[in-house]
Amino acid sequence: MILWFPICRLKHNSMLSFPNAKINLGLNILRKRSDGFHEIETCMLPLHGFTDILEIIAGDNTENGCKLSVSGILPDGDISNNLCYKAYDLLHKHYSLHPVEMHLHKCIPMGAGLGGGSADAAFTLRLLNDMFSLAISVDVLTMLAAELGSDCAFFIENKPAIATGRGEILKPCDIHLSGYYLLLALPAIHVTTATAYQLVVPKQTDIPLAEVLKCDVGEWKSLLVNDFEPYVFLQYPELRHIKNTLYDAGAVYASMSGSGSAVFGLFREPPKPESIQISCKTKLMQL
């Protein structure tokens, strides 16, 4: 599909946003596709209490493109590979965008299965859309975000959704976890998504994920699975220990998020700090 867009006009000189993390409630790896990706089924839930910080400022018109600086958790490798750059370049193919300067303060760790990089990319698209009054519809923004990465599309609407396909086909999910406490464990382990997919063996599920999610949260322990866990836990036994510790501390459900390494537990009451005997950073939030 060829998209034609008008020349943009600057509406705001600077804009600020807070790209948030997500967790996966269940993750089924169904089969490998002919395009090299995997067919999946998962529920993505935004975590609005855990965010990066992204600021975009109008640049000097005498210069071209996008300048990006990063603070906080610094990424490995060349900063030009950052998805914020790629989001700007993607829109620049269709619009005569003004130059911009971006600053990204990273709080969400990479390689944790929390979608931080994907959120940064999607929020870049959203900010540029508002900053330059591009009037791109949600549907088109979602389609553009999917070009940047499988999880990116989710963060355009940023609401609970069942994701299928390679993760870009989204269906709203009416899930109620209000009042639960979520404890997020953040071990200093970087699990690359590509490596995790190489380890996993796809399989079909007996019960559709949407049906499992209708069950009481107390039943999820035996029904709601993340297909990455058995393989990633073999590589990193510490993650299995963290999950078991969360259950021992009273979690009604615990799981690895995405391909890891973050592990979360859902609690009906705030867990007692002394009951969480794990040697990594944790973050507690109420949903």
> Residues with catalytic annotation?
22, 151
Q: How far apart are CA 189 and CA 280, in angstroms?
A: 10
Q: How far apart are CA 193 and CA 256, in angstroms?
A: 13
Structure tokens at 7: 């020349």
The residue type of 265 is G
* DSSP-assigned letter for residue 226: B
Q: Are 125 and 157 contacting, i.e. CB atoms less than 8 angstroms apart?
A: no
Strands annotated E in 1-52: 14-17, 20-32, 38-51
Closest CA to 3 of 154, 157, 143: 143
Q: How far apart are CA 154 and CA 168, in angstroms?
A: 7
Closest CA to 33 of 230, 202, 260, 232: 202
3-state secondary structure of 244: helix
Q: What share of the chain is helix, strand, coil (3-state, %, to 5)?
A: 30, 30, 40
Q: How far apart are CA 255 and CA 262, in angstroms?
A: 9
Closest CA to 258 of 208, 165, 192: 192
